[in-house]
Amino acid sequence: MMEKACASFSDAQALFFILIGTPIVAIESGYVEALGWNQYGGWRIGIRSFDGKRYYYYAHLRQNFPYALNLEEGSVVTAGDVIGYMGHTGYSTKENTNNIDTVHLHWGLQLIFDESQKEGNNEIWIDCYELTKFLYKNRSLTEKNQETKEWLRIYQMKDPSVNAYQSSKSVSPSPGTANTQTRAESQN
């Protein structure tokens, strides 16, 4: 039996305040550039677009089980794949600490036209409010596998940029991603 989830919200700001363990999906296809603990952001994920010009930051993920199974630095994800779970970790030098009162997702979008903009005074961060409203209207429906407790997208998507990136870098799809599932399904 699969449990289905698709959060509904009255407006975009409510998107940030929901239950612990609510699945978080990738906004754009790309590769995991950063994964781990940050004393301010807690458990966090950083995903870079394949062209290298956008960096998505997802922070304050769930304690003890913050990420989708088998997600690691270098993993390739497709837009809409479950990448992690809502939580309230962070603001602690001690790893895996819930030090924030409100469960929420801190996410950001950084534009990078030159690598010197990645860190430092030249960073360009985007106001995500309008983008959040758009994403709410076009969200990815997910379901929970009761055996593994892992959340996965219901409707698979083929993103040509994922295949092009993997071919150019000789990268295999990450276990549990849409591409892996699609290939496995096609073998049956």
Give the domain CATH number at 101: 2.70.70.10
Domain of 96? 2-187
Q: Which residue has the tokens 């994920």?
A: 45
Number of structural domains in the chain: 1
Q: How confident is the model at residue 174 (pLDDT cuts 50, 70, 90)?
A: low
At residue 8, the pLDDT reads 38
Say what the pLDDT of residue 7 is.
41
Q: Tokens for 175? A: 């276990």
pLDDT range class, residue 170, cuts 50, 70, 90: confident
